[in-house]
Structure 1
């Protein structure tokens, strides 16, 4: 028995005021359960949440919701001054103060609603998270993780029928993520979460992917969905191979039919030249042959056309996410070479040696980026650094931006390597200013990976921030092909596990490094 829908999309379309289409005729629904909404950057996920929340109005079609909707934006602290603001309970508190002051205004009582004990319940939610229970505490005193968790606690507190969360784990450290996972794991009611955090997505009951303007719904976690997609993809690839074989056969048969037609036409001309038959018979035979030849051509063309259409349809079904496959320049880094040293306040510095792969974790604000910036000038090997804030020359073309790091590499050779990193075609000659966030990241990474001479140490600071799942997969593939040393800072434990690291170091509040794996 299927779960009833709480959100129904009926031919939903939305176009921005400048005429840019965001969604076109989307049909689908979300069940009354916990759903992960995934899709490539730019697919329209955040726009869809805003349409469901009523913050945007459709330009076509409709959104039908069953119950009240609460929406958590990515910029949760916008307009909030106190913890109560962040929890979204300030209007109820103001109404309670008015009642306590003797107000009998019906509008004030309506504002209180069922929230007579809202302050007590808010204190319980905050205490459960391990936070101070002061509702008048300034938002400026909260870390990014504390602000996000407090805002999510507010959504639970307000108890809307449908809750929408947009990238709730962005910029959260590992400890804050674990607290969030606990909140999501015990969530009751309809929940729709936009995220590229695989661990979070696997906590949810269903998965919906916004792809090519369609909403694909699946009754399972993201990992289960990807397994199903892979099964469908494998079947589609097999169907494509079969369709290609049929097309080859039909083309051969068409060629044979053309040979028979040509032979028949040559025989007809020979009969006429030899006057083997009287003109009336020749004309009759010619007419009959032309009809037969036309029929054979039409039949052969129809079969080729049908086979071609079958191949095109099979190609469409078999088309998957592009995969990075690249043979990167080899830095030829000796295994015993001293590469860099990470300082630790207890004097037990960590030395990276040879093509070692190191992960660095720690709470937000502990100084991980500062540690990297202190280490880089003293590195004993050629180091390349990809910071959180990527800086590129917006006026340069993509090719020019990359060539600055490899000036002696022939452009044709560089284009070939860029194509293997999924920077291909017209994109190579586009201006950097026209690129999306994900495209800018790939260009910045390519500059480092394709540099000449190649770096011996690659340092990445939170590289998965704001990347969609496909882009993260491509990053993992690119790093797997890199044969130098890697030092990567991340809060995404699933991403770190996929890099097959030799060691994971944790930096604590006292500046001390310790190995956690």
Structure 2
């Protein structure tokens, strides 16, 4: 179990082994030692990043081995849930000290107030300064959490952790649901971290550029790379180039050893035929012929065994070389039935006012296979707008109409039944499609064979997203309008690349709400809509400028 022991900031895993109750092994003898500095923890979905974070925080207990934390530890989890009735100072953990300060200022010199404050007489100033550094300087300490947006809630929780002055700080996908302004404030907080160990699990490449080292979790072990994300990518590319050369050389060696073994077998067979012919011709006495025959057999056996050993060794070297090659498979799928003619009307909004958010009157017409990005500040109402378009929420006024088969992939991925297999979930949304057709398409989404039979509830975060994406895109009738809400949240970078390649095959209209500008540009967005009091056409350059500015200047 994770226990604070040493006063210096450090984190150590010794011979760490962890198995789930069903016997699945995640780590087997993992050793890890981290000193002061900023660490980016990366790895494909399913590599064990979240499990490792839960082991570090003590939420999970190792099957064997130990986790040792030097100093105090604080943790920002992926999903933040705060009581909406809490005052900000309660959420920051400073309410009692504020009350003690007020009591002393009013003349109450009870000893308990001084004990509550300790040496933290400037707690209010520190709290306000920390909030200000995260772009929350205007929220005040007496407001309630319910008045804040989701992104502000994440930053508020981070502020509470920073006020604790932890020796070890763990951040798990901290940029999820943050708009660009909030992300900038988080980046600045990471830049200014110099007090201990900071470990960040993230798919945000800009955030990962700010760390001192990258720790890659792969196949149950950790590999270290100096520098941020770009340096890591460059190092991996160099490794893969060398691994490719090694693999090609190993394959050539296997072919050479096979050829030499065949040549040896041919020579031995020819020699054996020659010996038999001499024996039949009676050229040698039987005793001498038998002795030569035994000697030849022994010599042939040794020679054949030598070449077989060399071939087996060459095959082992080839397998080792192949293991060093990264197999980050891509989704490759054809979806011709999703195509929409360029002139066809797909979606219309007439003076639409959703129930929540800033939008007061939205009017829009989507024609053909347009790819539209919905962007805006936290709390602008992007998710509410999408839920209104699907019919899940009724608008306060106005009308939204769709004219083609439509599917919606929400952030929470509740299109999947966790008890059903991946194949059964897909079949549920595609009545009339044969099992063979479903399995053939699922294989293109990297769910081959038994993987398609795995219950959705047992999948990792990235696998669950891929299964939800498959079920949504393979639905019948084929969706000609696909709406997605923050699809890159909780995805590792390989999964984002897989999503991008899947959307390249999609021929219908796309409506995507996202704060991830690099992803939106990668999927070839054709129209950018800013969600505010109205829907306004914009550009990616203007979006970056607007969303990186403080809210009161937008």
State the TM-score, normalized to the length of structure 1: 0.88
Q: Are the equivalent residues in 1 in contact too, given 2:208–2:228 (CA < 8 A)?
A: yes
Distance 1:301 1:55, change over 3 A: same
- Separation of aligned partners in 2, 1:415 and 1:50: 34
Name the residue aligned to 2:212.
205
Name the residue aligned to 1:325.
332
Q: Map residues 461-500 of structure 1 onto 2, 5 A cutoff.
A: 461-500=485-524
Question: 1:505: Cα distance to partner?
Answer: 1.1
Which shows bigger deviation, 453-462 or 109-118? Answer: 109-118
Q: Are the equivalent residues in 2 in contact too, given 1:329–1:449 (CA < 8 A)?
A: no
Question: 1:308: Cα distance to partner?
Answer: 0.4
Q: Are the equivalent residues in 2 in contact too, given 1:8–1:29 (CA < 8 A)?
A: yes
Name the residue aligned to 1:279.
286
Which shows bigger deviation, 376-385 or 292-301? Answer: 376-385
Question: 1:449: Cα distance to partner?
Answer: 2.6
Helix, strand or coil: the match of 1:277? coil
Q: Which runs of 5+ in 2 are unaligned?
A: 1-7, 353-359, 391-399, 541-554
Which shows bigger deviation, 465-474 or 68-77? Answer: 68-77
Q: Are the equivalent residues in 1 in contact too, given 2:374–2:528 (CA < 8 A)?
A: yes
Q: Are the equivalent residues in 2 in contact too, given 1:357–1:503 (CA < 8 A)?
A: yes
Q: Map residues 38-49 of structure 1 onto 2, 5 A cutoff.
A: 38-49=42-53
Name the residue aligned to 2:170.
164
- Separation of aligned partners in 1, 2:416 and 2:164: 43
Question: 1:172: Cα distance to partner?
Answer: 2.4
Quick one: which of 8, 16, 20 aligns to 2:12? 8
Q: Map residues 182-193 of structure 1 onto 2, 5 A cutoff.
A: 182-189=188-195, 190-193=197-200
Which shows bigger deviation, 494-503 or 4-13? Answer: 4-13
Q: Are the equivalent residues in 2 in contact too, given 1:127–1:133 (CA < 8 A)?
A: no
Q: Are the equivalent residues in 2 in contact too, given 1:82–1:139 (CA < 8 A)?
A: yes
Name the residue aligned to 2:120.
115
Question: 1:426: Cα distance to partner?
Answer: 0.3
Name the residue aligned to 2:536.
513
Q: Are the equivalent residues in 2 in contact too, given 1:325–1:478 (CA < 8 A)?
A: yes
Quick one: which of 143, 148, 157 aligns to 2:154? 148
Name the residue aligned to 2:346.
339
Name the residue aligned to 1:387.
410
Is structure 2 residue 234 aligned with structure 1 residue 233? no
Which shows bigger deviation, 29-38 or 334-343? Answer: 334-343
Q: Map residues 428-467 of structure 1 onto 2, 5 A cutoff.
A: 428-467=452-491
Question: 1:75: Cα distance to partner?
Answer: 4.5
Distance 1:408 1:235, change over 3 A: farther
Name the residue aligned to 2:381.
367
Q: State the superposition RMSD in angstroms.
A: 3.0
Which shows bigger deviation, 205-214 or 73-82? Answer: 73-82
Question: 1:399: Cα distance to partner?
Answer: 2.6
Which shows bigger deviation, 14-23 or 118-127? Answer: 14-23
Question: 1:96: Cα distance to partner?
Answer: 5.3
Q: Map residues 81-96 of structure 1 onto 2, 5 A cutoff.
A: 81-90=86-95, 92-93=97-98
Name the residue aligned to 1:180.
186
Distance 1:111 1:11, change over 3 A: farther
Helix, strand or coil: the match of 1:318? coil
Q: Are the equivalent residues in 2 in contact too, given 1:384–1:458 (CA < 8 A)?
A: yes
Distance 1:214 1:158, change over 3 A: same
Question: 1:149: Cα distance to partner?
Answer: 0.8
Which shows bigger deviation, 245-254 or 133-142? Answer: 133-142
1:297-338 deviation digits (Å, cap 9, x = unpaired): 111111110110011001100133222223333534222322
1:472-503 deviation digits (Å, cap 9, x = unpaired): 22111111122222111112223222212112
Q: How many residues align?
A: 511
Distance 1:215 1:21, change over 3 A: same
Q: Are the equivalent residues in 2 in contact too, given 1:77–1:139 (CA < 8 A)?
A: no
Question: 1:415: Cα distance to partner?
Answer: 2.5
Distance 1:243 1:281, change over 3 A: same
Helix, strand or coil: the match of 1:146? helix
Is structure 2 residue 372 aligned with structure 1 residue 358? yes
Distance 1:113 1:302, change over 3 A: farther
State the TM-score, normalized to the length of structure 2: 0.83
- Separation of aligned partners in 2, 1:208 and 1:154: 26
- Separation of aligned partners in 2, 1:18 and 1:318: 30
Question: 1:361: Cα distance to partner?
Answer: 1.4
1:171-198 deviation digits (Å, cap 9, x = unpaired): 2233322332232233333321122222
Question: 1:224: Cα distance to partner?
Answer: 2.5
Is structure 2 residue 527 aligned with structure 1 residue 503? yes
1:87-137 deviation digits (Å, cap 9, x = unpaired): 2334644665787743447xx867644412112221232344244464343
Distance 1:76 1:88, change over 3 A: farther
Distance 1:114 1:53, change over 3 A: farther
Q: Are the equivalent residues in 2 in contact too, given 1:349–1:513 (CA < 8 A)?
A: no
Quick one: which of 14, 31, 38 aligns to 1:34? 38
